[in-house]
Amino acid sequence: MGSIEFLKDYDTPSFNYKEYIQISPINQIFSKTGCSGKIDVLPSSYKTKDSALANLIGIREKRLNKALQQSDIANDYDYVLIDTPPSATTITSNGLYAAQYVVIPSQMEYLSVYGIRTPIGRAKEVQEEMGKRGAILGIVPMMTEKNVKIHTTIRQSVQQRFQGLTILPEIKRAAAVGQASQVRQPISLFAEHNKGAAEVATQFSALTQQIMIRINQIESSVGM
């Protein structure tokens, strides 16, 4: 079972979210290092598409939020990361309605930047409707290259066009990202035995730290 079954089954009497969760093999490495944390995954698949929700009763865009709130996931995990497709679909809307915070990754290319307006608009609509949902933490410049002038130019354009949003630390283009994904390892772990991955692992670490800072700033300011 996967994420689409999770969305469809959450309101059934026998629902137990743990039946839909897969334990990450990375947890074995954590235990060897003395780390008490864990990573579990609610997997997506080819079945995770709008048509699979078409015959369900109620507001289909809010099923993920209700599933997370009504199950024990909200109490059993410190953070739930939701990865959605970039297109404006019901599946993506489920992620926006469920997410307290939103990070928008975008390549510094004209068409990619043009598309930023769609998730920003939808996130603001969700925030107006739901209150503590859809707060945008910032935009992440993705797959940038140092010597490509257009990337710098477009980044400056993004800063001017979306002045109310934070530009988060960038992630440069690196083959190591795809290589780490291929062997199903976090980039930080892959970097331990691949020198080419060290720089991009540092970038992801800086991004994570900045995201945590932004969250702490927001929650401190509103007294959460």
Q: What is the mean pLDDT of the chain?
A: 88
Domain extents in the chain:
1-99, 100-172, 174-224
Q: Which two tokens stand for residue 202?
A: 């540092």
pLDDT number for residue 200: 94
pLDDT number for residue 81: 94
What pLDDT digit, counting tens, does each position of 83-114 carry?
Answer: 988 777 888 899 999 999 999 999 998 888 88
The pLDDT of residue 224 is above 60 = no
pLDDT number for residue 99: 93
pLDDT number for residue 1: 58
What pLDDT digit, counting tens, does each position of 147-166 carry?
Answer: 888 898 998 999 999 988 99
Q: In this structure, how many other beta carbons lie within 10 angstroms of the beta carbon of residue 99? A: 22
Residue of 218, 174, 220, 215 lying closest to 79 (CA atoms): 215
What pLDDT digit, counting tens, does each position of 20-61 carry?
Answer: 999 888 888 888 877 788 899 998 887 888 887 887 777 888
pLDDT number for residue 171: 94
Q: List Cβ neighbours of 114 (8 Å cut-off, separation of 6 or more).
A: none
Asked whether the beta carbons of 67 and 51 are under 8 A apart, the reply is no
E strand or H helix at 19: none
pLDDT number for residue 25: 86
What pLDDT digit, counting tens, does each position of 168-221 carry?
Answer: 999 999 999 999 999 888 898 899 888 889 999 999 999 999 999 999 988 887
